[in-house]
């Protein structure tokens, strides 16, 4: 029947339009892929304390990591196109429980794609590539 054929042709055309759109969109998104970020966390607590780090984002839970004195741990991810990637961590050692935002994309992406954090009792400090010192420090999060 001719109406049936017309419908088939319309369906085929719509499918082709969809296919072309999908392919183009995929290619465009690939062009907007962000450079991966690598986050290194180093236990620089005084008194030889063990640090337990537990980091999460909205979509992922990286699990608890136990860092002996002076040990480090790394994780990586691809920041999102919108600049809203956020990873936060709990940091626990004997007698203390703290929180910090370890990656705030609009704050940190301009500073590093390989980011180093030194964790001390006083708070987290990020490596400053300008002077090679851990002097980009933040207070622990307030609840």
Ligand X SMILES: *[C@@H]1O[C@H](CO)[C@@H](O)[C@H](O)[C@H]1NC(C)=O
Residues within the interface to ligand X (CB under 6 A): 48, 69-70
Q: How far is the CB of 72 from ligand X (least distance, A)?
A: 11
Helices (H) and strands (E) in the chain, counts: 2, 9
CB of 94 to ligand X, least distance (A): 15
The DSSP 8-state label assigned to residue 75 in this structure reads E
Cβ proximity to ligand X: between 48 and 130 the closer is: 48
For ligand X, the closer CB: 17 or 66:
66
Nearer to ligand X, 38 or 120 (CB): 120
In the complex, what is the shortest distance from the CB of residue 135 to ligand X, in angstroms, rounded to a whole number? 17
Q: Which helix (H) or strand (E) holds 19?
A: helix 2-31
Sign of CA dihedral 65, 63, 88, 109: positive
Alpha-helical runs (H) found in 67-139: 105-108
């Amino acid at each position: 029947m001719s109406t049936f054929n017309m419908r088939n042709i319309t369906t085929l055309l719509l499918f082709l339009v969809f296919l072309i759109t999908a392919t183009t969109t995929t290619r465009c998104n690939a062009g907007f892929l962000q450079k991966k970020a690598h986050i290194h966390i180093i236990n620089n607590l005084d008194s030889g304390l063990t640090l337990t780090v537990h980091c999460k984002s909205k979509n992922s839970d990286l699990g608890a990591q136990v860092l002996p004195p002076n040990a480090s741990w790394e994780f990586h991810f691809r920041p999102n196109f919108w600049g809203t990637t956020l990873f936060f961590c709990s940091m626990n050692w004997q007698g203390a429980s703290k929180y910090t935002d370890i990656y705030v994309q609009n704050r940190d992406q301009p500073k590093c794609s390989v980011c180093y954090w030194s964790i001390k009792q006083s708070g987290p400090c990020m490596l400053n590539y300008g002077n090679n010192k851990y002097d980009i420090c933040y207070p622990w999060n307030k609840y």
